[in-house]
Copies of this chain bind each other. A is one copy, B any other.
Amino acid sequence: MTDRPPVAIIMGSQSDWETMKNAADTLEALEIPYDARIISAHRTVDRLVNFAKGARAEGFKVIIAGAGGAAHLPGMTAAMTPLPVFGVPVQSKTMSGQDSLLSIVQMPAGIPVGTLAIGKAGAVNAALLAAAVLALSDEEVADRLDEWRERQSAAVAEYPMDDL
Q: Are B111 and A42 in contact (CB under 8 A)?
A: yes
A153 within 8 Å of B (CB atoms): yes
Q: Are B135 and A137 in contact (CB under 8 A)?
A: no
Q: Are B114 and A114 in contact (CB under 8 A)?
A: yes
Chain B minimum-CB-distance residue to A112? B125
Contacts of A109 in B (CB 8 A): 22, 117, 120-121, 124-125
Q: Are B20 and A160 in contact (CB under 8 A)?
A: yes
A132 within 8 Å of B (CB atoms): yes
Q: Are B75 and A72 in contact (CB under 8 A)?
A: yes
A5 within 8 Å of B (CB atoms): no
Q: Are B116 and A105 in contact (CB under 8 A)?
A: yes
Interface size class of A (residues with CB under 8 A): 35 or more
Query: CA A36 – CA B162 in complex, angstroms?
Result: 12
Contacts of A12 in B (CB 8 A): 108
Query: CA A22 – CA B158 in complex, angstroms?
Result: 19
Q: Are A160 and B36 in contact (CB under 8 A)?
A: yes
Chain B minimum-CB-distance residue to A83? B132
Contact of A70 among B17, B117, B145, B158 (CB under 8 A): B117
Query: CA A110 – CA B21 in complex, angstroms?
Result: 15
- Per-residue CB contact flags for chain A residues 38-61 toward chain B (1 = under 8 Å, else 0) read 101111110101000000000001
Q: Are A116 and B115 in contact (CB under 8 A)?
A: yes
Nearest-neighbour CB distance to chain B for A2, whole angstroms, equals 12
